[in-house]
A and B are shown apart, each in its own frame.
Chain A
């Protein structure tokens, strides 16, 4: 629900930019009042960009750049890391794949989404990102499946994102 609210909020934010809001507000206010708002807006924009950059590098959040197509509980919130399983959970030898843009170096990377298996679902930090995600009849590109094929059990614990190569 947090993600949904966040997404909806972002949607509203995208459709209603601060600048357009301020422009409309400015039409109803005298210039003397509107002008002092503009520096505040610049500061707010810089803050927003900084927040976005921080989110893109926080591997316990759904906006982490490698997680563009991750679907499940983040192993980095479950005692593991972005590409490591928590203790006692087994990395699946199989995975679905996605392509994510790294804003830090401007490159696109092929990312392998490998599940950690052998424990009941972790339950923390659920993300449902869908960039490049395909229906289940395109098996290698579908994230709804339990990707524990080849692991000792098909019991899903959490999800990781492993860089495979630069695209």
Chain B
């Protein structure tokens, strides 16, 4: 009996000790906060998601392309565009809002976000006439010094709104009759593409007003072979590809754009292949390589997603590689860092993915799936 009581007491003591040790191991209370980000690195990728078919509130996905992990998002308005400050400290969304969602008074703004916190910092109201189009890369532009943000307008009359980011105010509007899009070529200079294949070039003064405006002769013939409206930009040069499969380099380093000799994407045995997609061409500065989304198709297949990527050396004008894509690509972006990445997105509908390949050998590295109706790729 005494022994039994002793055993019971020992068991109770053990239970108490166990409970005490469990109590010591319990988790501390959580303290909730908002995370922050480092400044963007070259292997990050930003996508504009239209959020179709709702469409009135766009979204930016910020993804680490190497780890394929989402880092955060920005919210925007109707058919928004994005610009990334050259020092990477701010993100700018160019938005349109109606006061009652789908009706009411239209307001166009440049929304300013802190790049570390992704906090909204403020807005600059611009004329309610920005181009409303399925977003394209050159609907807006930022001067390399980060001073002026330029926004293409289309009512359907064409003009450009100039935003002074230093003063955080609208600086004025510049008429660009018959010409649209914004290819920034210097701190105080941009060119727009005109309907006849010529370019209108505008220089700005330090207050953002037009100092000069010139329009040269056509550099290509859009009636015979239209150039895609989203070229790849290299330092001082834009590489256009055309509906019929030519590369048209346009030098942007001088006072006015100058066309360099065209060269073909197709060689012997390539008949039937054409460039196509949305962001169909990308340039890698370090190597001088041009990446082009290619598909097999006929006339008017310029928006056909690419089944392959063809890689060209812009110095020799020769193809150096081609590789098949895991799924057809509509948009493309290439990084310029060590072990460079090639990001490829299929069409936005019904749902986009971000496919990642080695830009060096075309090896598929993995996908970040389900990124809404993303239609445009940006990078820092």
Tell me the A residues contacting B by CB distance below 8 Å.
1, 4, 7-8, 11, 15, 73, 94, 118-123, 126, 128, 130-139, 142, 144-146, 148-149, 152-156
Contacts and interface: CB of A to CB of B under 8 A. Distances in A.
B133 A120 contact: no
Interface string B277-308: 00000000000000000001100111111000
Interface in B44-58: 52-56
Interface in B327-364: 328, 347, 349-350
Contacts of B134: 144
B217 interface: no
B110 to A, nearest CB: 18
Nearest to A119: B102
B195 to A, nearest CB: 5
B140 interface: no
Contacts of A154: 78, 96, 106, 132
A145 B133 contact: yes
A123 B52 contact: yes
A145 B132 contact: yes
Interface of B: 52-56, 78-79, 96, 98, 101-103, 106, 131-134, 136, 154-156, 158, 179-181, 192-195, 222, 226-229, 296-297, 300-305, 328, 347, 349-350
B349 A133 contact: no
Contacts of B56: 120, 155
B195 A131 contact: no
A155 B195 contact: no
6 contacts: A4-B328, A123-B53, A130-B302, A133-B302, A133-B303, A136-B181
A135 B194 CA distance: 11
A135 B347 CA distance: 18
Contacts of A135: 193, 222, 226-229
Nearest to A94: B156
Contacts of B98: 153, 155
A7 B226 contact: no
B103 A149 contact: no
A94 B136 CA distance: 21
Contacts of A120: 53-56, 101-102
B291 to A, nearest CB: 20
Given A120-B55, A136-B181, A139-B158, 11 more contacts: A1-B350, A118-B102, A118-B103, A130-B300, A133-B300, A133-B303, A136-B133, A137-B180, A137-B192, A145-B156, A154-B78
A136 B131 CA distance: 10
Contact of A137 (B194, B304, B305, B347): B194
Contacts of A138: 195, 222, 226
Nearest to B179: A137
A152 B100 CA distance: 13
